[in-house]
Amino acid sequence: MKILIVGSGGREHALAWKIAQSPRVKQVYVAPGNGGTSSKKIKNVSINDINHLVEFAENLNINMTIVGPEVPLSNGIVDIFRSKNLKIFGPTKNAAKLESSKDFAKEFMIRHNIPTAKYSTFTDVYAAKLYVQKEKLPIVIKADGLAAGKGVVIAKTIEEAYNAIEDMIGDNNHNLKKVVIEEYLEGEEASFIVMSDGKNIFPLATSQDHKRLKDGDNGPNTGGMGAYSPANIVTPKIYCKIMDEVIIPTVKGMFEEGNTFTGFLYAGIMIGNDGSDEWVKTLEFNCRMGDPETQPIMMRIKSDFIEVLEHAINGTLNKAEILWDDRVALGVVLATYNYPEKPRIGDEIKQLPVETEDMTIFHAGTTISSSGTLKTSSGRVMCVTALGDSVKKSREIAYEAVSKINFNGMQYRTDIGWRAIK
């Protein structure tokens, strides 16, 4: 088999790494890939344009295409590939609105009684500010469209809320931009990712992301500074709540509304306790696997993942099986100087430790120069991921590897997995 993976981040590297392990896979192409997605069985392809990707898939008789990032999904890559009878795993453009529009997702959740935070949507700065004045702080300000995981501000003061609103819709002359303002939920967050073929649902391992830049969940929101799997906050009871109250109603509701959802569905879940019972509420939907959650999840898969993907594309996910490693996988993201504001790129990555069976480095923002030097190319550079018998052990292995990596301005959190250890 020949597989095409669309994207250039750590998520795509992890998918390519896992899929290439299948004895049935002859070649994995990653478009455009990064400095780490190139090996004997994995090859980078310098293509970003959807129509050129279609031509590539047709010319090389690609058996299956998997879409990593949200932008090509929101641009309709799945619709275009299917119109050419090319097999591809991901949601259509209309189904991807669950991620590409926060307002669409919130309205959908209300229609289908999916638990979520109280909210209101605005296109007018003045009206948005008036709303904030009447609500309790802290309050959550979200850009309606795609923002690479960084379009969320948790405002602790009126001034912070006003600034976020101005940044998101301040130049909104024609009401083309929207801002979603939500109540702030107290609790602990978890990532719940499933695969859907439109009707059948196949849950993947649970995980927990670390969105904030600095230790102790401080600093600005980022695309993710680390993750681990499984997430022990997702107890069997919470697992059933998420499936029954969030995932099943979402897939069923999309089907009923004529937007059959196929692909990876990621629900960001807040888990809380009101004193008498635990509750779950949906923070957001993503229409693809999370990054950096994908890295530890792929590390824990012991069986052939390509077989699950085949079932997903063929509409037979009810027959799929997967074998998980019982150990904990934990990933630490290394970021560039001044990430996430204005990341500095082009720094030389001077050294990398040798990978082992229990430690893998998934590249994201790396590139290889014409002279063969590995350099940083975007804010999040790589995710050092390790397997261990406990969160503490996997963290020790990961940070030991991190200590051997060096590039100017390198920053990372030192407390990935702290909630589980606590």
- CATH number for 15: 3.40.50.20
* Residue 61 Cα to chain centre, angstroms: 28
Domain CATH number, residue 395: 3.90.600.10
Query: Which residue is it, tokens 């101005």?
Result: 166
Tokens of 232: 């022990």
pLDDT attached to residue 175: 77
**Same-domain pairing of 240 and 291:** yes
What domain range includes position 133?
118-183
Count of structural domains within the chain = 4
Is there a domain that residue 172 lies in? yes
Residue 350 lies in a domain: yes
Domain termination residue (choose one: 146, 166, 183): 183
Domain check: are 201 and 282 in the same one?
yes
Q: Is 357 helix (H, G, I), strand (E, B) or coil?
A: coil
Going 301 to 306 to 307 to 312, the CA torsion angle's sign is positive
Q: What is the pLDDT along the chain (422 residues), one digit of tens a residue?
A: 999 999 999 999 999 999 999 999 999 999 999 999 998 899 999 999 999 999 999 999 999 999 999 999 999 999 999 999 999 999 999 999 999 999 999 999 999 999 999 999 999 999 999 999 999 999 999 999 876 555 889 999 999 999 999 999 988 777 778 999 999 999 999 999 999 999 999 999 999 999 999 999 999 989 999 999 999 999 999 999 999 999 999 999 999 999 999 999 999 999 998 777 899 999 999 999 999 999 999 999 999 999 999 999 999 999 999 999 999 999 999 999 999 999 999 999 998 999 999 999 999 999 999 999 999 999 999 999 999 999 999 999 999 999 999 999 999 999 999 999 98
Q: Which of 76, 91, 106 is the last residue of a domain?
A: 91
Is residue 294 within 8 A of residue 347, CB to CB? The reply is no
Residues 6 or more apart whose CB falls under 8 angstroms from that of 317 comprise 195, 196, 197, 200, 201, 202, 308, 311
Of 56, 51, 4, the C-alpha closest to 25 is: 4
Does residue 198 share a domain with residue 294?
yes
Question: Same structural domain for residues 178 and 234?
Answer: no
Task: Supply the pLDDT for residue 15.
Answer: 98
In a domain, 107, yes or no: no
Task: DSSP letter for 411, please.
Answer: B
In a domain, 97, yes or no: no
- Two tokens, residue 277: 């019972």
As a 3-state breakdown, the chain gives helix, strand, coil percent values, each rounded to 5, of 30, 30, 40
Q: What's the CATH code of the domain at 165?
A: 3.30.1490.20
Do 288 and 211 lie in one domain? The reply is yes
Query: Distance from CA of residue 308 to its chain's centroid?
Result: 19
